[in-house]
Amino acid sequence: MEPIKVIIDKCIGCELCVKACPYDAIQMINKKAVIDIEKCTLCGACIEPCKFDAIVIYKRSFKGQEVTSYSGICLYAEHRNGRLASVVLEIIGAARKLKEDLNEKISAILLGNGMNPLAEELVSYGVDEVWMIDSPKIGEFAEDVQAELVAEILMEKSPEIFLGGGTIIGRSILPRVAAKLLTGLTADCTELTIDSKNKLLRQTRPAFGGNIMATILCENHRPQMATVRHKVMDEAKKVKSGHKGKIVKFNHIKIPKTKIEVLGFVKEKDITVNLVDADFIVSGGRGLQDPKNFVLIEELARTINGAVGASRAAVDAGWIPYSHQIGLTGRTVKPIVYVACGISGAIQHLAGMKSSDIIVAINNDLNASILDFSQYGIIGDLFEVVPELIKQLKELTGSKK
Amino acid sequence: MVILFLLKNIFYIEFKRKEELGLKIIVCIKQVPDTTSVKMNPETNTLIRDGVVSIINPFDTYAIEEGVRLKEKYGGEIIAISMGPPQVEESLRDALSLGVDNTYLLTDIAFAGADTLATGYTLAAGIKKLGGADIIILGRQAMDGDTGQVGPSVGENLGIPHITNVRKIEQIDEDGTIIVERLLEGGYLRLKTKLPVLLTVVKEINEPRLPTIKAKMLARKKEIVSWDSNSLDIETGRIGLTGSPTQVIKIFTPPKTTKGKIYQGNVKTSVTSFLKDIQNAGIQFIKKEDRMKNGTN
């Protein structure tokens, strides 16, 4: 990406920038300013004289450079099938808390086709400005194109903070954006706060298999970028009516062609695998002893309208496919109720489920570490407890009907 | 006779394919402490480093295996590259024993303290010095940092597209078209692009082989090329700690919550009282759609 550029639509060919350039790096070609990148030193002398804001310098904020000109909290509004990704509401929730401390506006970058309803929705959750490119040319999974467009918008608007989802898409696009802007990016944060002294974004995340937490700062580069771990922070609620948001279109940005063609999306056949959206999850671990015993887990899951999860031990043993794995190296979930059957509670598993609303452990070991994280612990042989649980649950629902 | 003819044909095609494609594959690997052996000192809240073994990042073993399989299928060369202190040679030797042809270690005190931005830049500089590649493969993330950011960052620095979380490479055609399956929440995407491309792979993609004794012995004899910062075409301000915008300012152990209610003894009564408690807590095990209809929970 060019570090400096002329927004062609805005340039009227007045030549003020040509006069201002001390390095003779700007020429007029067809009445539009063209910058010779070989000669340009990015000194910025042309920015101020241009009355039409047609020249943008990409602020490579190397150490020691001015970072105070950046302002605002921006987020990446990931969406699929015409709906905002649920992580976006979680990020808005986090951004609104940051806003209380920073007192800067919240903006959201929204890229895609037919985006107006989503833009309205973002505003209804408290976003102040939606920075939008609405075009059929932007493919839903064209991550290369989206990364490029995000970088261009960030360059132009200079927000202080930029947040994205810790989703597969977010964690693919944002590192690319950070590499374009030469700024810092912290992956998969579980906590974001503003430092009371220096107003920097304190980004906290697990590392070393969840054994430790690290707090990270990005002091001299902007924007301060982070991806937010899905299903950890609370979703934003709609703001009271009366909140007015602005939709800003970036139609002057040229949309590049994607190098990646989507041939199709294949849905996971087994609905019990859709862990991320499940309200109830029943997981099995090493305590199941045999792959056949997953039938028990499946039956309990069906009884409570839930999905089936598994610990890494069970997956590594080949008892159940990887797509069921919950934990640091699997999926992160935040259901209303998480039932852990025969799972000891290794740090690596806890990292993927400990923000569940309610954790129930079924274990024969009173000292299992999962119990330190559970609201309810049933101590006993899971081969007795689970069938009893199924039986009583069925009786309960039966009696209601 | 017919069978023989068919066999000949198959072998001919296989042979021809290898000749024509000849892929250049680069695998980026990282040496990490085996996190399953990492323990915390509860008094000082620090990592106990003693007795922690260094291994190839487990996710990278799938990257190596996939690279080796591609070479076996399409012919060509597979190179492993890593950035880190001199002891990373051990891991590169392991890579050699798994079928990698040549290895390069980017090692220099000036590279130390690199975050994902500086690491991506440095690895890309190493890959450029190697003349680039048709396919670059990384594990989806490292076991210690868990960021998954270096792959896309290398891709951007090389100016080539990346695809993360690849669970299968379906095919590579003679014209350099590659089709892969990429894991996504709720399923997977089938994607098509042109080489060169950078892929990060998940563990579903294959089952890594174990090295044979013979391969291990041969790996001992191979040369591992080391490059320092002077050997690479880089801006010194963009590597190591200086080139890293992020700094860790605090490390702490995650707080534990207190023990909840425990049910012991008779299974039947345990389950009954648990269900009673959870119902009193306002939990109803009903489907999301039904709950939305009823407006409960």
Pair (B136, B182) in one structural domain? yes
The CA distance from B220 to the nearest CA of chain A, in Å, is 30
Kindly list the residues from chain B whose CB atom is less than 8 angstroms away from the CB atom of residue A146. none
Kindly list the residues from chain A whose CB atom is less than 8 angstroms away from the CB atom of residue B181. 266
Pair (B191, B266) in one structural domain? no
Q: Does residue B3 belong to any structural domain of this protein?
A: no
Pair (B219, B290) in one structural domain? no
* Residue-level pLDDT at B37: 62
Q: Between chains, do A337 and B278 touch, taking CB under 8 Å as contact?
A: yes
pLDDT at A173 over 80: yes
Kindly list the residues from chain A whose CB atom is less than 8 angstroms away from the CB atom of residue B204. 321-322
Q: Does residue A215 belong to any structural domain of this protein?
A: yes
Q: Establish if B257 touches chain A: CB-CB under 8 angstroms.
A: yes
Q: Between chains, do B275 and A372 touch, taking CB under 8 Å as contact?
A: no
Please tell me which of the candidates B38, B163, B246 has its beta carbon nearest to residue A211: B38
Q: Between chains, do A265 and B248 touch, taking CB under 8 Å as contact?
A: no
Pair (A151, A184) in one structural domain? yes
A225: nearest Cα among B115, B253, B183: B115
Tens of pLDDT along B152-182? 999 999 999 999 999 999 999 999 999 999 9
Tens of pLDDT along A128-147? 999 999 999 999 999 999 99
What is the CATH number for B178? 3.40.50.620
Tens of pLDDT along B14-46? 544 444 689 999 999 999 887 666 666 656 555
Pair (A285, A393) in one structural domain? yes
Pair (B34, B121) in one structural domain? yes
Kindly list the residues from chain A whose CB atom is less than 8 angstroms away from the CB atom of residue B192. 260-263
Specify the 3-state DSSP secondary structure of A75.
Answer: strand
Q: Does residue A68 belong to any structural domain of this protein?
A: no
Specify the 3-state DSSP secondary structure of A282.
Answer: strand
pLDDT-derived band at A125 (thresholds 50, 70, 90) equals very high
Rounded mean pLDDT of A155-170?
96
Kindly list the residues from chain B whose CB atom is less than 8 angstroms away from the CB atom of residue A392. 271-272, 275
The CA distance from A366 to the nearest CA of chain B, in Å, is 9
3-state secondary structure B158-203: HCCCEEEEEEEEEEECCCCEEEEEEEECCEEEEEEEECCEEEEECH
Q: Which residues, in sequence order, are bridge partners of residue B56?
A: B31
Q: What is the DSSP letter of B265?
A: S
DSSP string, B31-63: EEE-GGG-EEETTTTEEE-TTPPEEE-HHHHHH
Q: At residue B56, what is the residue type?
A: I
What is the CATH number for A146? 3.40.50.620
Domain boundaries, position B65: 22-238
Residue of B nearest to A368 (CA): B259
Q: Does residue A107 belong to any structural domain of this protein?
A: yes
pLDDT-wise least confident of A196-205, A258-267, B140-149: B140-149
pLDDT-derived band at B214 (thresholds 50, 70, 90) equals very high
Q: Does residue A254 belong to any structural domain of this protein?
A: no
Q: Does residue A266 belong to any structural domain of this protein?
A: no
Distance of CA A340 to the CA centre of its chain: 27
Q: Between chains, do A264 and B189 touch, taking CB under 8 Å as contact?
A: yes
pLDDT at A322 over 80: yes
Domain termination residue (choose one: A57, A81, A101) = A57
| In chain B, residues 168-207 whose CB comes closer than 8 Å to chain A | 179, 181, 183-194, 202-204
Q: How many CA atoms lie within 13 A of A192 on its CB side?
A: 34
Pair (A77, A37) in one structural domain? no
- Is pLDDT larger for residue A398 or for residue A119? A119
Tens of pLDDT along A46-91? 887 888 889 887 644 444 446 778 999 999 999 999 999 999 999 9
Helix axes of A170-181 and B116-129: crossing angle, nearest 10 degrees: 80
Q: Residue A218 — left, alpha, or beta (φ > 0 → left; ψ -120 to 50 → alpha)? A: beta
pLDDT-wise least confident of A265-269, B40-44, B276-280, B281-285: B40-44
pLDDT-wise least confident of A346-350, B169-173, B195-199, B236-240: A346-350
* Residue-level pLDDT at A270: 61
Pair (A189, A308) in one structural domain? no
- Is pLDDT larger for residue A396 or for residue A343? A343
| In chain B, residues 37-56 whose CB comes closer than 8 Å to chain A | 38, 40, 47
Q: Between chains, do B262 and A366 touch, taking CB under 8 Å as contact?
A: yes
B201: nearest Cα among B83, B95, B59: B59
- Is pLDDT larger for residue A248 or for residue B34? A248
* Exposure b/e, A102-126, CB count within 10 A at least 16 = b: bebbbbbbbbbeebeebbebbbebb
The count of domains in chain A is: 3
pLDDT at B47 over 80: no
Pair (B270, B130) in one structural domain? no
Q: Does residue A255 belong to any structural domain of this protein?
A: no
The CA distance from A368 to the nearest CA of chain B, in Å, is 11
A324: nearest Cα among A312, A310, A334, A343: A310
Pair (A293, A190) in one structural domain? no
Q: Does residue B251 belong to any structural domain of this protein?
A: no
* Residue-level pLDDT at A295: 92
Antiparallel, parallel or unpaired: β A280-284 and A337-341: parallel
The CA distance from A13 to the nearest CA of chain B, in Å, is 32
* Residue-level pLDDT at B241: 85
Q: At residue A56, what is the residue type?
A: V
User: Would you say the C-alpha torsion A274, A275, A276, A278 has a positive or negative sign?
Assistant: positive
The count of domains in chain B is: 2
A148: nearest Cα among A252, A225, A56, A255: A255
Whether this model's ipTM surpasses 0.90 comes out as no
What's the rounded Cα separation, in Å, for the pair B30 and A189?
22
Q: Establish if B144 touches chain A: CB-CB under 8 angstroms.
A: yes
- Is pLDDT larger for residue A53 or for residue B190? B190
Q: Does residue B195 belong to any structural domain of this protein?
A: yes
Tokens of B116: 């994902």
pLDDT at A225 over 90: yes
What's the rounded Cα separation, in Å, for the pair B137 and B203?
13
pLDDT-wise least confident of A141-155, A312-326, B66-80: A312-326
The CA distance from A317 to the nearest CA of chain B, in Å, is 13
Tens of pLDDT along A360-378? 999 999 989 899 889 999 9
Rounded mean pLDDT of B279-285?
83
* Residue-level pLDDT at B250: 79
* Residue-level pLDDT at B177: 97
* Residue-level pLDDT at A1: 53
Pair (B160, B217) in one structural domain? yes
Rounded mean pLDDT of A249-253?
95
* Residue-level pLDDT at B145: 83
User: pLDDT over 90 for what percent of chain A?
Assistant: 63
Rounded mean pLDDT of A316-326?
88
Tens of pLDDT along B99-154? 999 999 999 988 988 899 999 999 999 999 999 999 999 999 998 888 999 999 99
Residue of A nearest to B140 (CA): A329
Pair (A81, A221) in one structural domain? yes
Pair (A226, A332) in one structural domain? no
Pair (B219, B266) in one structural domain? no
Q: How far is CA B172 from CA A172, A258, B148, B177, in A?
A: 23, 19, 25, 6
Q: Does residue B274 belong to any structural domain of this protein?
A: yes
DSSP string, A18-71: HHH-TT--EEEETTEEEE-TTT-----TTTTT-TT--EEE-----TTS--TT--
User: pLDDT over 90 for what percent of chain B?
Assistant: 64
pLDDT at B295 over 50: no
* Residue-level pLDDT at A377: 94
Pair (A228, A282) in one structural domain? no
Pair (B261, B231) in one structural domain? no
A63: nearest Cα among A183, A173, A165, A167: A183
Pair (B143, B281) in one structural domain? no
Tokens of A52: 């039409």
pLDDT-derived band at B297 (thresholds 50, 70, 90) equals very low
The CA distance from A288 to the nearest CA of chain B, in Å, is 18
Please tell me which of the candidates B237, B257, B261 has its beta carbon nearest to residue A62: B237
Q: Between chains, do B285 and A384 touch, taking CB under 8 Å as contact?
A: no
Pair (B281, B175) in one structural domain? no
Q: In the predicted model, what is the mean pLDDT of chain A?
A: 89
What's the rounded Cα separation, in Å, for the pair B297 and B293?
11
Pair (A92, A39) in one structural domain? no
Q: Establish if B292 touches chain A: CB-CB under 8 angstroms.
A: no
Tens of pLDDT along A101-113? 999 999 999 999 9
Q: Does residue A261 belong to any structural domain of this protein?
A: no
What's the rounded Cα separation, in Å, for the pair A356 and A340?
11
Residue of A nearest to B150 (CA): A175
Q: Does residue B2 belong to any structural domain of this protein?
A: no
Q: Between chains, do B191 and A371 touch, taking CB under 8 Å as contact?
A: no
pLDDT-derived band at A308 (thresholds 50, 70, 90) equals very high
pLDDT-derived band at B242 (thresholds 50, 70, 90) equals confident
B246: nearest Cα among A375, A105, A203, A45: A203
Pair (A225, A326) in one structural domain? no
Q: Establish if B254 touches chain A: CB-CB under 8 angstroms.
A: yes
Antiparallel, parallel or unpaired: β A32-35 and A106-112: unpaired
Q: Does residue A213 belong to any structural domain of this protein?
A: yes
Neighbours of A39 (CB within 10 A): 12
Rounded mean pLDDT of A175-190?
96
What's the rounded Cα separation, in Å, for the pair B156 and B159?
5
pLDDT at B275 over 80: yes
Pair (B61, B173) in one structural domain? yes
Pair (A228, A99) in one structural domain? yes
What is the CATH number for A31? 3.30.70.20
Pair (B54, B181) in one structural domain? yes
Helix axes of B213-221 and B89-97: crossing angle, nearest 10 degrees: 130
What is the CATH number for A296? 3.40.50.1220
Pair (A130, A231) in one structural domain? yes
Domain boundaries, position A318: 271-400
